[in-house]
Every structure is written in C-alpha cells, then in structure tokens.
Structure 1
Amino acid sequence: MGQARQTVERLQLGLALTRLRGRANKSQGEAGAVINRSASRLSQVENGKGALGTEELVKLLDYFGVRGQERETILALGAAARRRSTRRGYVDNLPEPFQRLVELQAAARQINWYECGIVPGLVQSPDYIRAIMRLSNSIYWDSSEAETVERILFREEHQRRVLEIGEPKQIDIVFTEDSLDHVIGDASVMRGQLLHLLQLLERQVNIRVVPNGTANNPALGGGLVVLDFPQATPVSFASVLHGPYTYYDQPEDIEPMQRIFTRVQELALSSEDTRMLLIDRLKEAK
C-alpha cells in the first residue's frame, strides 16, 4: 500500500496515537500486531503518512485503554484523516484542540512565530502567563478558578515540551515592540517579561522585535505560526482571538504566510539590537 498524502489531520492523528501508545507503554510492534499490521506500517501512520480504518482504530483504542471523550475525539480525528477530498484549510473543531496544537509544535523541526501587540505564548514569562489567563477568566470562558489554573499549567507545559524536550529546534520569534507597551498584570509583570526574554536569548532562542514606528509592516493586527517538520509538509495557522484554529498545509496558503514571516524578519531588529532594546526598556522600567 502506498503512503497517503500528509495532511494536518493525519499528522494530528499520528501524534495522538504516538502519545496514547507511549502512555500505555506499548511498542509499535505490539500495537501493530493488534490490528495485524507491521511496526513499519504503524510507524507510517504515527508519522502522518497514513490513516487507519475505523475497526483498526477501535481495536487500538481498546488496547490502549482509551475511553470517554478522548476516545470519541480520536475516532472523529481518524474519520477526518481518511478523507481524500482536497480542501484549503482544516478547522479543528474537536475537543481539546490545544493538546493537538502543542503536539504539532513539539514535533516540528522549525517554528516561525509572529505576533502583533502581544508577546507570543511560547516566550511568555510565568507571571505574564498567570496574568493573561486571569484577565481572560470570565471573558473567554465562564468564570472558573479551576479552569484558569488548568490553562496556566497547560501553557507552562506547552513551553516545556517545545523548548526543553526532544531534539533541539530552530525557533524564530518576531513580535512588534508595542507588545511591551501593553501592560499585562502590572509593571512588575512586564519587568519580569523583559528579563525572561533576555534569558531566552541567552539560550539561543532567536527573538527579534519590530520597532515602534516601522513603516510598511504587512502583518499589522495579526499573528501567524509556520511549522516545518522533518518528514512532513509544513503547516501554518493564523492567530485568532476566539474559536478554533484553521490549519493550512497547501502551497497556495503556506507560501504567502512564509513570505509574510520573511518580511517581518527583514523589518525586525537583529537579535543583538533586540537585546539592547530589551535592556534599555528594563532600565527605563526601574
């Protein structure tokens, strides 16, 4: 059987099955035997290069002990992965979309992330995360301290999985300088965020700032992320205030988003000049 075309849905399914198999402490050979497939065939699926039939997926989920909503989500993702019709974008309307977002970022070889007006989530300091989640409580979700704490912990785990676990990645972060003017929490939180960015620069995370007053920025008012994978086509998505992410994996969408990111990189300060800007702002904040 030939390999299926890689799509966002197949990547998400493969990463989810890899996570569930690891959680069940099963090898690819053991899992493959349950559905009469070789370890190499299951490896193709886990790498986003194939899909499984409903019966095969049910047997695997039974073997992994997956129940409830998580099981229904994986079955729905399996159905999406089996579709062969061409589409411009995949809207992830399934439960726990942020789990799949993090899995995609953790699997990526290169992450290009741009934001306008806010510090990107991957490089937010712990206090910035707590402040932004608490101000979102009762606005983006019903007032719930438990959910707020859960979202804080999830964002921190997101950063750990992407920045600290697995193979080193090429991470390029670009954001507009006004992100540092918009106070989240209070002045002490913003000082801590400046220090956090400087520490990340020391860890070789490539962070660059587009200065205030920069002319002809083609990405004002928006944000985007482009993910490149070792053995899969790139995936991109644009930041949204509310609602599900729409992922893109077709050249007609990926290529302009890559060009946008290249342009904001050209407009941004160098890493060293960004360091100096952050230091100057830290001095001013005292």
Structure 2
Amino acid sequence: MGMAEQTVERRQLGLALARLRDEAGKSQLEAGRAINRSAGRISQVEHGKGTLAEDELIRLLDFYDVRGEERRTILALGTASRKRVKPRGYLDVLPQPFQRLAELQAAAEVINWYECGVLPGLLQSPNYIRALLGSADSIFWEASAEETGQRIDFRLGQQRKVLESTSAKAINLVFTEDSLQHVVGGPSVMRGQVLHLLQMMEEHPALDVRVVPNGVPDNPALGGGLVVLDFVDGTPVAFVSTLYGPYTYYHQPADTEPMRRIFKRVHELALNADDTRSLLVGML
C-alpha cells in the first residue's frame, strides 16, 4: 500500500497511535514487527500519510494494550481513515474529541486562531476558564461538579500540551476587543485575565497576540471564530468555533483557503503586538 492522501481522520489516527505507542514504551520498529510491517510504514501512519487494515490495527492495539472506549474510538477512526470518498468536512462525533483537538494543535507548525467575543483557549487564565466553564454547568451538560472539573483540567492540560510542545511553532492569536469587555466571573477575574495576557506575551516568544479594536470597520468575521493549523509535513487542517456540538474539520483547499483569507484580513485589521500591549496596560 503506497502513500495515502493526508486527511483529518488519518492525521488524528496517526497522532493517537503515536501517543499510544509512546505510552506503551514501544519503538516504531517494535510496532512494525508486531504487525509484520516496517518501521517506515508505522511512521507513515503516525504522520497521517498511510492507513492500516482493520486486522493490523487490532493487532497493534493489542500490542499497545489499549482497551475500552479508547480502543473503540481508534478502531472507528481507522474505519474513517480507510474511506476513499471524502466529504468536504469531517464531523468528529467520536468520544474524547478534545484530546484529538489538543493533539492536532500540539503537532501543528503554525496556529492561526481568531475569536470574536471570547478569548482564544490558549490565552485563557485558570480563573477565566473556571468561570467560563462553570457558567456552562447545568446548561451545556447536566449539573456536575465532577464533569466541570474534568473540563477545566483538560483545558489547562491542553494549554500546557501546546505551549510546552518541543516542536517549534508560530502561534498567531487574534481576538476582538469586546472579548475583554464581556464580564466572565467578575471584575477581578477579568483584571487577572489581562495580567495573564501580558505575562504570556512576555514568557512565550512564539505567541503573537493582537486585538481588533471595537471601532475598526468592516470586520468580515464578526460573530464567529476559526482556527487554521499548518503542519510541516502536509495538508493544513481548519475548523470553525462552535457554541455547541462537535467540531467539523476541513482539509480541502476549497474550505481552508477562504479561512486563510479571513484570518489574514482580521490580522491586518488588528493592532500590532506593541499597540496591543499598550491597550492591555491601559485597561488595567
């Protein structure tokens, strides 16, 4: 089987298999031997450029000792990755979607992220996250302090996974000024969030943080948010922010190119990094 087209499903499958292999303490050579494949083939699959037959994937999961829901999820991803006819968008309805989102972001070489009315997740302070997710408890899910806590822990873990990634990356984050004017958790939380932003801009040189002022006319992305992920080894992946429900991922140029143009435009409309810093200091 030759090199396969790189799709969202194949990239998600590959990242998940690479993580499971690391957790199992196995090398690509050992994994290949377990299913009578080469280490090169395992590398192709882990980079989203190859697929495995169902029986090969089953043997590999046995080798990694993967059970339960995660095993079922990986097998479902394997089925999706083998489909030859690809829809324009891939709707991720499998369990643990945020795990796959975090893995995609951590693997990306460039993250272009825009939000309107709310701060991008990578910039949110712990108290902002607690207040934001706390307000969703009993509305977006049944009232559950345990689930809310798990979601908070995951969001913080996602930030660490991306910001502390060993791979070099550029992270361009743009958001509208009103994102800092909507009160989440109270004035003290919002003041802490502004201080958190200033601290992150100092501590993480890869971060390029910019604000689109309220008075700027003709913002083509009012009321929405989007993320475009570029990878060193192939096809970009993009998705739009959703208020509720699963993410829809896009990898075809007919979708990713317009989203690139949207991000480029809001980046042009935003204050530069120095003026953004001045705006934040003034808000204190």
**TM-score with structure 1 setting the length:** 0.98
- 1:106 paired residue number: 106
Aligned residues: 282
> Structure 2 matches for 1:176-215, cutoff 5 A?
176-202=176-202, 203-204=204-205, 205-215=207-217
- 1:60 paired residue number: 60
Are the equivalent residues in 2 in contact too, given 1:48–1:232 (CA < 8 A)?
Answer: no
Offset at residue 87 of structure 1 (A): 1.5
- 1:174 paired residue number: 174
Q: Give 1:278's match in structure 2, choosing from 264, 277, 280.
A: 280
Aligned mates of 2:71, 2:268 — CA distance in 1: 45
Aligned mates of 1:24, 1:6 — CA distance in 2: 25
Offset at residue 168 of structure 1 (A): 2.5
Aligned mates of 1:261, 1:246 — CA distance in 2: 18
Aligned mates of 2:166, 2:95 — CA distance in 1: 26
Instruction: Tell me which stretches of 4 or more aligned residues in structure 1 moved more than 6 Å.
Output: none
Secondary structure, in 3 states, of the residue corresponding to 1:233? strand
Aligned mates of 1:152, 1:86 — CA distance in 2: 34
Q: 1:132-190 CA distances to partner (integer Å, 9 max, x unpaired)?
A: 11111111111111111111110000000100121221000000000001000010100
Aligned mates of 2:81, 2:234 — CA distance in 1: 15
Gaps of 5+ in 1: none
Aligned mates of 2:190, 2:234 — CA distance in 1: 38
Q: 1:103-133 CA distances to partner (integer Å, 9 max, x unpaired)?
A: 0000000000000000111110111011111
Aligned mates of 2:165, 2:44 — CA distance in 1: 23
Secondary structure, in 3 states, of the residue corresponding to 1:142? coil
Offset at residue 86 of structure 1 (A): 2.9
Q: Within the alignment, does 1:87 sit opposite 2:87 as a pair?
A: yes
Secondary structure, in 3 states, of the residue corresponding to 1:62? helix
Aligned mates of 1:182, 1:196 — CA distance in 2: 16
**TM-score with structure 2 setting the length:** 0.98
> Structure 2 matches for 1:65-84, cutoff 5 A?
65-84=65-84
Offset at residue 199 of structure 1 (A): 1.0
Aligned mates of 1:115, 1:156 — CA distance in 2: 18
- 1:261 paired residue number: 263
Are the equivalent residues in 2 in contact too, given 1:208–1:271 (CA < 8 A)?
Answer: yes
Q: Within the alignment, does 1:219 sit opposite 2:221 as a pair?
A: yes
Q: 1:224-259 CA distances to partner (integer Å, 9 max, x unpaired)?
A: 000000102100000000111000000000000000
Percent of aligned pairs sharing the same letter: 65
- 2:233 paired residue number: 231
Aligned mates of 1:2, 1:12 — CA distance in 2: 19
Offset at residue 213 of structure 1 (A): 1.6
